[in-house]
Amino acid sequence: MVRQYKSNEAKVKDVDSKQGLVKAYFAVFGNIDSDGDIIEPGSFTKTIKERGPEGSGRIKHFKWHSSRDVPGRIQELGEDEFGGWFISKLSNTTLGKDTLIEYEEGIITEHSHGFEIIKEDHDESGINHIRESKLWEVSSLTAWGANPLTRVDFVKDIKDEKTLLEAIEHITKYLTIGRFSDQLLKDLEQKYSQLTTIYNSLITKEPHYVTCKNGHKFDYNSIPESGMGYVKCPKCKIACTQSADEPKEKEAELKRYYLGKLI
């Protein structure tokens, strides 16, 4: 049996901030998805009964399908005419609290589920009807696709300017909201500066003349930065910063630009 994942953008049904409870759909019935599958109503009935909170309690709530990122514990699982839903109690951990804020602020926009197909059949038009699944986990996904920006190697998911800009926008949202844990904000600030460095290296730079302490004048932008905010003078190799507040201004400008796009 192959473990599979399917995502949906169904609206989060309910967030109870006081209790730390969230109710959302992990699957939608009756839609042909991008794999040519339709999840049929009732396909989770058996697995919910056997593996749900009233059964063996094996179905987990993850983030991004990662068993290391468990924001809460499933309290209820069920099905209605629209799809399969879950209620999770978010934990009082840093991850749980940050996840609750992500729900409150609408940053979590998608859910997905990890499952195995037990029963399926193809109709004459080639559509695959999933009639029974074994459910392993339901996952909360944040807006930057299924790619968590909190991952150490997140940069490898940035394939082009579009994903780069999306990532910057996504982080800007977190930084603007501001009330996340210090841990998350610190991590994202670091990533923000990594991303803006990549962004800055992509845009053609105007020449910017600086003079080192020994009086050599050169174009700052013609030399790759040796560290954050300085280059070495091509003649005497002394570390030389860009004039006072210019790099910060550039970053602030970029931030204003993305904030402007968001508002």
What is the pattern of x (binds Zn ion, CB under 5 A) and - over residues 173-212? Answer: ---------------------------------------x
Q: In which residue are the tokens 């967030």 written?
A: 15
C-alpha span between 94 and 105 (Å, rounded): 16
Footprint of Zn ion on 232-261 (CB under 5 A): 233, 235-236
Question: Among residue numbers 214 through 233, which ones bind Zn ion (CB under 5 A)?
Answer: 214, 216, 233
By C-beta, is 229 or 234 nearer to Zn ion?
234
Of residues 217 and 261, the one with the C-beta less far from Zn ion: 217
Instruction: Tell me how many residues contact Zn ion (CB under 5 A).
Output: 6
Take residue 88 and report the two structure tokens written for it: 């999770």
Q: How far is the CB of 220 from Zn ion (least distance, A)?
A: 12
The least CB distance from residue 217 to Zn ion, in Å, is: 9
Paired sense of beta strands 128-142 and 60-63, if any: parallel
Spatial contact of 23 and 14, defined as CB atoms under 8 Å apart: yes
As measured in angstroms, the least distance from the Cβ of 230 to Zn ion is 13
Contacts with 148 (C-beta within 8 Å, 6 or more apart), sequence order? 63, 64, 66, 69, 142, 154
Of 30 and 234, CB closest to Zn ion: 234
Q: Which residues of 10-42 are buried (b: 16+ CB within 10 A; e: fewer)?
A: bebeebeeeebbbbbbbbbbeeeeeeebbbbee
Residues forming contacts to Zn ion in the complex (CB under 5 A) are: 212, 214, 216, 233, 235-236
